Structure 1
Amino acid sequence: MQTQAGDDLIERIRTHSADGDVVGPAANDLLSELFKGYPVENLGRLLHSGDDATVRTGTWLLSELGDLAAPMMAEVPALLAHPLRQVRFFAVEVVLMNGDARHGSTIAQVLKLSEDPDDAVRWKVLQFLDAASTDQLAAGASFLEAGRLRELADWLVLQETHGPDPRGVVARLEAPDPVTRLFGAAAAARLSDEETSLLEHAATVEDGEIRSFAQERLSEPR
């Protein structure tokens, strides 16, 4: 019966993908079914539908499932490269919750999205860089080609494996390159549990995205 309910919801989403009044409640009901044990693999019907709106709904569901989405990690590289920004955004969350040493190339894709033209996606990547484990970051960095992004990723890992570099954080926060500033902000946030001065500095920089992120992090309860 549970399988039938989930199947029906998937077909409803596929059939009415452009109707938010139908898809919204159906997606929430499907999420409940997934938490009850409906096979997450069945979301492949949404992800491979060929319809952008349906793929977006499927990716949102994955992003809400936490580690229950792990069996679908093989689908994530395509989602991270999807033309729809919401799909890329939600896919980053899936990697954060499920990526490990086996998914280094997928994590590297997330790191590359620090260069994404969409500000919402870059914001999500910054949240990833802040929240990801050191092992996740190291796994992703190892799959990056030599160059600026690899250097930034390696440097971010070194902040925890070899001790913080406050001057380096400040220099990156004030760099002319926006990607460098993003990694500087991530370092400031990751170090803020013990020292908030770097994050406080990030909250004053000219870059509006970095400033807003830092201000939001500083406002979180500690």
Structure 2
Amino acid sequence: MQTQAGDDLIERIRAHSLDGVIVGPAANDLLSELYGGYPVENLVRLLHSGDDAAVRTGTWLLSELEDLAAPMMDEVPALLAHPFRQVRFYAIEVVLVNGDAQHGPTIARVMNLSTDYDAGVRWKVLGFLAAATTDQLAAGASNLEAGQVKELAEWLVRLDTEELDPRDVLARLEGPDPTARLFGAAAAARLSDEDPSLLEHAATAEDEEIRSFAELRLSQSD
């Protein structure tokens, strides 16, 4: 019966993908089915549906499943390149929870989204860079092509493994380049337990995604 219920919910979402009144409850019910043992692999019917709204719902489900989404990591690179910003946003969370050394190319894709046109996606990348393990950062950095993002990612890895001057973080936060400022804000967040002043400085940034992220992190530490 559980398999039938999950199948029916997927078909309901596909048939009414743009109707939030139907999709919202159906997605929540499907999430419960997935936590109850319904195979996560069946979400490919949403992810491969060719319906952007259904893909968005499928990606949201993956982002809510935490480590239960691990079997679907091969699907994530395509989601990170999806034209819907919400799909890219949710996919980043899947990588944060499930990405490891073998997923270096996928983590590199997340890092490259630091230059995404959408501020919400950049905000999510900032959260990823602030929360990722050193091993995740290193795996991503090693799979980036030579260029600014690779240099910044490698710098962020060194932040965890070497004694770096906090003024280096401040220089990036105050610099003219928006991508460097984003990585500087991630560094400020990673160092905030030792030195919250850097994150406080990030909270004054002109970049909305950096300012709002820093303000949220500071409020959570109160």
Secondary structure (helix, strand or coil) at the match of 1:204 reads coil
1:122 partner letter: R
Counterpart of 2:137? 137
Residue pair 1:115, 1:122 contacting (<8 A) in 2 also: yes
1:71 is the counterpart of 2:71: yes
Residue pair 2:120, 2:209 contacting (<8 A) in 1 also: no
Counterpart of 2:80? 80
The TM-score, its normalising length taken from structure 2, stands at 0.98
1:60 is the counterpart of 2:60: yes
Q: How far apart in 2 are the matches of 1:221 and 1:167?
A: 23
C-alpha deviation, 1:138, in angstroms:
0.5
Gaps of 5+ in 2: none
1:163 is the counterpart of 2:163: yes
Counterpart of 1:15? 15
Structure 1 residue ranges, 4+ long, deviating more than 4 angstroms after superposition: none
Secondary structure (helix, strand or coil) at the match of 1:220 reads helix
Counterpart of 2:104? 104
C-alpha deviation, 1:205, in angstroms:
3.0
RMSD: 0.9
Counterpart of 1:49? 49
Residue pair 2:80, 2:91 contacting (<8 A) in 1 also: yes
Residue pair 1:113, 1:125 contacting (<8 A) in 2 also: yes
C-alpha deviation, 1:211, in angstroms:
2.1
Residue pair 1:14, 1:54 contacting (<8 A) in 2 also: yes
C-alpha deviation, 1:43, in angstroms:
0.2
Length, aligned pairs only: 222
- Identical-residue share of aligned pairs (%): 77
C-alpha deviation, 1:196, in angstroms:
0.6
Counterpart of 2:173? 173
1:170-200 Cα deviation digits (max 9, x unpaired):
0000110100000000000000012211111
Tell me whether 204-213 or 11-20 shows the greater mean CA deviation.
204-213
Q: How far apart in 2 are the matches of 1:170 and 1:196?
A: 12
Counterpart of 1:37? 37
Q: How far apart in 1 are the matches of 2:205 and 2:55?
A: 37
Tell me whether 119-128 or 212-221 shows the greater mean CA deviation.
212-221
Counterpart of 2:92? 92
The TM-score, its normalising length taken from structure 1, stands at 0.98
2:11 partner letter: E
